[in-house]
Amino acid sequence: MIGLSPHTAEMETIVDRRRKGTQMTLLADYYVPGLHVEDHSIAVPLDWTGHEPGRGFDGESLSLFYRVVTAPDHIHDDLPLLVYLQGGPGGESPRPLDPTSDGWIAEAIKHFRVILPDQRGTGRSNRVDTQVMTRLADGGARVQADYLKKFLADSIVRDFEHLRRTEFRGAQWVTLGQSYGGFLTLTYLSLYPQGITASFTCGGIPHVPADAVEVYEHTFPRMVKKTTQFYERYPQDRERVAVIADHLAAGNVTLPNGDPFTVERLQCLGSDFGMKPSFERVHWILDSAFLDGDGSASADSPLSDEFRSKVEIATSSRPLYWPLQEFIYANGEMDEPIRWAAQRVRDTKPEFNADVRPLNFTGEAIFPWMFEQERALRPFKPAMDLLMEDTHFGVIYDEAQLQRNEVPLQAAVYFDDMYVDSGMQLDTLSRVGNSHYWTTNEFEHDGNHGDRVFKHLYEEALNRGDLAGLF
């Protein structure tokens, strides 16, 4: 390597060594503080019908983007693989600033080469947004709806299995699923358990069999409790929220992007209440609400530009997050369509009406009005109207396979989880073979983003012997 800088020579050595064991298409190779990062992309079928992961395919394809992250002092080590199954739906993989910016990574890179894929339609994997839906509109709502159905768990897991079989030459890997990533874990264990040597999940064991209405029947009562806890912590915000809601009920208030600012949109601030420190984030948003005087709640004061901007940001989300939200519960041929499950449950609970005071906040739920009022969601509305009446989806869970599962599964179940009911998680785990769980109320739904949860799960699995074949 005469004439090459030491850094260039080192990188060529790394790439050459990796190519002996993989077929990676390298896009970039670089460092962020405390991490060595490689960017890669491969092609996967848009439609997996008639195709098998690991084999060639024809027809339209998508790009599956992924990163390989290692500790700088482990670049040359032959470490086992851990693939991260991101939450969502519609969530891209972490963009780490350093090993501690997403707490589990600091522990994981001590033991694994970490794979961070962007699920199809997110991040750099053929992102789906309003522009895509607008282009598809020329083909009609059915074309839009059929396209969105290709971005659910059955396709996501086949992408990852294709990645494992091709770029990593079929080497088994460990999976770590956060939130919706736990749903993906059970899909992976249902469809391709032979690809996994062990699984970890954090706040993400779905109820099997899946039922969206059942989920929201558990969720709405927890939102009343969360709202009560919020007002108990910040009693001054009870009046502030009431006055703000009265302003909005009078009408003609908009957000900076032109969306109507309604009471229902204000209630969506509660969608973050299952994370820490969400109460504080919402409290400080409300603190900026009133323009005049010292900012105390006032029926005569206009709502400030800063407040409206903060609400817009806090209640907006990734383009696929809301459109796919209820369809993560759609499994195979369904007896009944989903038909706006959250709205149907909400209609039975008058305590969430916009004129109730103190005002109750809503959680992680979609409602029909979102796709009428929100500019970023309007292009999805024709497809949503069809999908909500659809009963034909891909199979995501095989209950018989899960019952005879042999892959060690270690789950963190957060007892007070606002989004994924702990009782329903434990019920599912009671019917999944070789599953273990750690139940705790010390953390909220995002506990894995700290530095303790994954470390605890890893040590439990290691001490049980579940990782004996890896090291």
Q: What is the pLDDT along the chain (471 residues), one digit of tens a residue?
A: 333 333 334 334 333 434 333 445 899 999 999 999 999 999 999 999 999 999 999 999 999 999 999 999 999 999 999 999 999 999 999 999 999 999 999 999 999 999 999 999 999 999 999 999 999 999 999 999 999 999 999 999 999 999 999 999 999 999 999 999 999 999 999 999 999 999 999 999 999 999 999 999 999 999 999 999 999 999 999 999 999 999 999 989 999 999 999 999 999 999 999 998 999 999 999 999 999 999 999 999 999 999 999 999 999 977 899 999 999 999 999 999 999 999 999 999 999 999 999 999 999 999 999 999 999 999 999 999 999 999 999 999 999 999 999 999 999 999 999 999 999 999 999 999 999 999 999 999 999 999 999 999 999 999 999 999 898
Written in H, E and C, the secondary structure of the chain is: CCCCCHHHHHHHHHHHHHHHHCCCCEEEEEEECCEEEEEEEEEEECCCCCCCCCCCCCCCEEEEEEEEEECHHHCCCCCCEEEEECCCCCCCCCCCCCCCCCCHHHHHCCCCEEEEECCCCCCCCCCCCHHHHHHHHHHCHHHHHHHHHHHCHHHHHHHHHHHHHHHCCCCCEEEEEECHHHHHHHHHHHHCHHHEEEEEEECCCCCCCCCHHHHHHHHHHHHHHHHHHHHHHCCHHHHHHHHHHHHHHCCCCECCCCCECCHHHHHHHHHHCCCCCHHHHHHHHHHCCECCCCCCCCCCCCECHHHHHHHHHHHCCCCCHHHHHHHHHCCCECCCCCCCHHHHHHCCCHHHCCCCCCCCCCCCCCCCCHHHHCCCCHHHHHHHHHHCCCCECCCCCCHHHHHCCCCCEEEEEECCCCCCCHHHHHHHHCCCCCEEEEEECCCCCCHHHCCCHHHHHHHHHHHHCCCCCCC
Q: At what angle do helices 236-249 and 212-233 cross, to 10 degrees?
A: 120
- Say what the pLDDT of residue 312 is: 97
- Say what the pLDDT of residue 115 is: 98
| Class of domain 6-210+396-464 (CATH, top level) | alpha beta
Q: At what angle do helices 422-429 and 212-233 cross, to 10 degrees?
A: 140
Provide the β-strand partners of residue 69.
37, 114
- Say what the pLDDT of residue 463 is: 97
Could you count the other beta carbons within 10 Å of the beta carbon of residue 25? 11
- Say what the pLDDT of residue 228 is: 98
What dihedral angle (degrees, nearest 10) is formed by the CA atoms of 322, 188, 394, 346?
-40
- Say what the pLDDT of residue 18 is: 40
Domain segments of the chain as ranges:
6-210+396-464, 212-387
- Say what the pLDDT of residue 318 is: 79
Tokens 């919706």 sit on residue: 180
Query: Is the bond into 89 cis (omega within 30 degrees of 0)?
Result: yes
Query: In a 10 Å sphere around its CB, with 0-12 CB exposed, 13-18 middle and 19+ buried, how is residue 184 labelled?
Result: buried
- Say what the pLDDT of residue 367 is: 98
- How many whole angstroms from its chain centre is CA 279? 21
- Say what the pLDDT of residue 25 is: 83
- CA-to-CA dists, residue 412 to 45, 275, 358, 421, angstroms: 33, 15, 34, 12
Could you count the other beta carbons within 10 Å of the beta carbon of residue 39? 17
Closest CA to 429 of 87, 134, 189, 148: 189
